Structures are given as C-alpha cells and as structure tokens.
Amino acid sequence: MRGDSDGLIVIKFSDVSLIYPNSTTTVLENLNLEITEGELVLVIGPTGSGKSSLLRLINGLVPHHTGGILAGDITVDGISTRDVKPGGLAHLIGIVGQNPLNGFVADTVEEELAFAMEALNLPHETMRKRVEEVLDSISLTQLRSRSIATLSGGEQQRVAIASALVMHPKVLVLDEPTSALDPIAAEEVLSILHRLVHDLSLTIIIAEHKLERVIGFADRIIHINGDGQTMVGTAEEIMAVSNIAPPIVHLARALGLDEVALSVRHMRRMTQELRDSTPIHRVKTKPASTLPVIEIENLSLAYGTKIALNSISATIFDNEIVAIMGRNGAGKSSLLRSIAGINELEHGQVLVHGLKPKDLHRKIRRESIGYIPQEPSDLLYCQSVTKECEVADRDNELTTGTTHALLTQLVPGIALHRHPRDLSEGQRLGLALSVVLSANPKILILDEPTRGLDYEAKKTLTRILIEFASIFNRAVILATHDVELVAELATRTIFIADGDIVADGPTLDVLLSSPAFAPQVAKVMSPQPWLRVRDVLDAIGGRTQSC
C-alpha cells in the first residue's frame, strides 16, 4: 500500500497555514503532509475552499505570484519554496492549470512542448530527443505540427500534460483536468496519468470535482473544508466520512453496506445478491406533454467548410428536460445557439412557439428564451449582486426586489454587496439563472452549466431546473458532458455525433445503450435499468435496512 512512510518523500508540508489578505477565513491551518514518490493524491473540497491554492503552494505560485501570508514550510525534493521562485522549480514540478489554453505560449504543439526546455537553456539535442519521447508516450505524434488553437479540449489537456512531462519532472500537478472534457476524452487523460504513476513512478496531485471519474485512481485524498480544516487519508477512509462523494459511495451508504467500494467492479460484487433477487424493474417516467415548444426541421449549419449540424430534425415539448450530449465539437453548442437564434441557419428552420428565434428582440426575447452561456459571467455586468438584480427588475418591469427574492429562493445566502466576479462558480450561475428566470422565459437553454460546479451546487441546479420544468410547465434544454447530472434530471437525451443525431429518446434508454455514457449506478446495477441511487431505493422498496 502506497502512502505509507516507506517511500521516498517528494513533497513535504510542515505546519503550513495560508491566509489571503482582505479575507477573514484561513485557507489552510497547520497542514502537515508527506507525499511519497509515485503517489496519486486527489484534492477534494467545495468550490472556493482552496483546492487551487493548495496545488499552487507546491511550486510556490502561492504566495510568490498571488500574494497571501504563508506560515510553515513546503519542500519539494528537499528544496523549500521559500528559497526559490516558481521558475526555479520548473525542472521538478509540472503544473497544468484549470484552463490549459490560457497557459499556452507557442503556436504549434511542438514549439509548445519545447518552450520550458528552451527557457532552461537545455541543449538542442536533448530537446529534440525529449520532444520525440513525449510525443510517443502521450500519443501526440499526429498532432505535432498542428496549431494549438485548433485542438479539441482533450487534445489541449494532453498537450499541456506533455509540455510538463518534457521537463522530466518528479511531480505533476493538475487542476481539474477533466472538467471541460467529455467522458471519453476524460478517460483518455486519466488513463495516461494512471500509466505515468505506475510506469515512471511520477507523483501526481489532482484537484477534481467529478469524483466518479478519478476516485478509482486515487491513493490518498486531501479533503479541504474551506475553513482551514483538512482531512488526509486513503480514499476508503475519506470516502467513509466525506460529504463530498461520487454516486457509487452514496449508493453504498443508501444500501447500508458496511464498507464503501470505489470501483464499479468491487461494488458489483457487493451488490450481486441485491441485483439478482429483484425482478427487472423499470422506473416509471411521467409521459411528456404533447404540446410542441421547439420545432427543428432539417437544420443544417456549417462554419466555412466544416459541417457543424447536418440536417437535424427534432421536436421538443413542454415540461421536457432535454440533455444534449456528445463529444467535444460534436455540434452541441451550435444546436443550442440555433435554437436561441444566434447562428444564421443554412438550411431548415427553428421555431420557438411558432416564432423564429432570430427575429426576437429585447423584452419579447427575454420572455421567450432564457439562455445561459458557457461562461455565466458574460451575462453579468454590474458592480454588485444588488445592482444586477435591480437591472433585471427594471428590464422586465417587475416590482423592485422580485429578482432578489428569486435569487434568495434559488441560492440562499449570497452577500448582496459582493461583486459577481467574487462569487463562487455555483453562486454566479445562480445569479445568472435568477436574472434570466426573472423574465419568466418560455424555454430555458443552458450550455455546459456544470463546469467547475461541486456536488452541492449541482444538486441545487438540478432542483431548480426540475422545479422550473414541472411547476411552470416549461422546456429546458442543456448541453453537458456530465452523465451523472443527465441521469438526475433529464427526461430525454439527444446524442449528437459529427453533426448528426445518433440517438434521441428517454434518458434511461439512451444512457444505458452506451457504456461510456452510463452513470455509475447503472454500471453497478446493470442489467437492472436504474440510473440513480433513488431508482435503486424505489425498486427494492423497504428492503434497505436488511441489506
């Protein structure tokens, strides 16, 4: 078992406390931690709890780059981050940021890989050799001369990892490496990391919200609470007590099992009896309404020579929650934008309540279509939460305070004087949602709403969307990579690949038909058609206690 004290210690935190100026909460308090060679450590915690700070402490970006008061000492391979600037640790630590695109310096993949080596003045021959090595080991050879701007999200992430690996670092630090990726690309990135740990005994530290993706790889977990308290332990130890947990752990708890399983294989063994003893039980779904809201007919769209959508037809009805899934670049956003009326349509038409969305403006638009873009902050432009709410009230001719009331209902406890930028991801999404919902739109469109959201925020979002769809009888359409979210809330799933609809049907059928897109509970419970912990409990009825 790794994580014991017998390995070579690579990273050592001694009595580390961190506090940012103008802040009343401590991020970390007296953290003592030793990470040994070849360990994969997962950092978890709610948004804004300081996961990124912890990662950036390792190479000294905090506090050298960000400010903040640091007590205690962090050493990496015996070098204290007090003594050297982040650049001085570049040969030891590779760091991959949340959005790798923001950190790229060169134009092409090959030059990007060479950048850090050039900065350290390595000889030409060494550079050539290392670039070739890394291109092979991360399977990037095909992409070597591609322009960085044309890479997909998964490819960017791999290039970022590769450009850290060319330095032959001892430690690799990744901040939410899979949050923007579809399940298949995420799987690719994680299997590379897994291999690096096992083949090269690289030490890897990852922060990630989507635990269902990474938990199986983690040796140890650092759980940050946000108030300075941290828990460090093996994955099993932390998962036994943590409130942040993947569905598989929630399932084990709900079933009252004595131990938590972290892999589908393990969990299947523990629930064998339960699956077999219950007859195949299909969860009943509410029949969808027959009132069409959005009619899409033969919609085609192309950017230059690249076909984004290829003659798509679909009808979306009242009170449906439709999830649009597919790989990065499959055409999800293009479809959403066409429904919202931003893109010029090449062929075909889109009608929202019989109107062309392109012709809607101002108040009529707000009342017809609510749209939350990938960056919810694009919608916000005021200096404080209060002002943002007031503007929404004025725009929609509502009595003052209506939007604010809506906001407190959706996401309670937001400080009103704060700047929208300073809110957590979840709070900002909540604010954007209440601004959009205050106009009472007939349909709601969300593009990748769960990027960077923690489980708590996702739960809130799920509740809001289900209420909006069922109470007000409105249609919700969302594009997402998050299968667990889809399983929780969508009534219908449309799967897009290369601009075509390849599957369209009830969420249950679409998700179960593809192993890569099946949620954890479904994988554990297969062949039983259950997607959520709730479905399992409903199906087995009162037998929970006896398990």
Q: Which residues bind other proteins (CB under 8 A)?
A: 56, 59, 61, 64-65, 85-91, 93, 95, 97, 99, 102-107, 110-111, 114-124, 127-128, 131, 147, 149, 163, 167, 337, 340, 342, 361-366, 369, 371, 373, 375, 377-383, 395, 421, 435-436, 439
The DSSP secondary-structure symbol of 170 reads: S
CB of 66 to other proteins, least distance (A): 8
For other proteins, the closer of residues 45 and 441 by Cβ is 441
CB of 46 to other proteins, least distance (A): 21
For other proteins, the closer of residues 284 and 362 by Cβ is 362
CB of 249 to other proteins, least distance (A): 33
CB of 289 to other proteins, least distance (A): 25
Closest CA relative to residue 62, chosen from 12, 119, 117, 17: 17
Q: What are phi and psi of 340, to 5 degrees?
A: -75, -15
Q: Cβ(230)–Cβ(263) under 8 Å?
A: no
CB of 201 to other proteins, least distance (A): 22
For other proteins, the closer of residues 439 and 533 by Cβ is 439
**Cα separation of 321 and 474, whole Å?**
9
| Residue 80: Cβ within 10 Å count | 13
Closest CA relative to residue 99, chosen from 49, 174, 33: 174
Which residues share a beta bridge with 71?
Answer: 17
Burial (CB count <10 Å: 0-12, 13-18, 19+), residue 67: exposed
CB of 309 to other proteins, least distance (A): 17
**Cα separation of 192 and 387, whole Å?**
46
For other proteins, the closer of residues 89 and 465 by Cβ is 89
For other proteins, the closer of residues 97 and 247 by Cβ is 97
For other proteins, the closer of residues 148 and 525 by Cβ is 148
Closest CA relative to residue 159, chosen from 150, 167, 170, 151: 151
**Cα separation of 369 and 178, whole Å?**
30
Residue type, 75: T
**Cα separation of 402 and 214, whole Å?**
41
φ/ψ bin of 319: left (φ > 0), alpha (ψ from -120 to 50), beta (otherwise):
left
CB of 278 to other proteins, least distance (A): 46
For other proteins, the closer of residues 110 and 295 by Cβ is 110
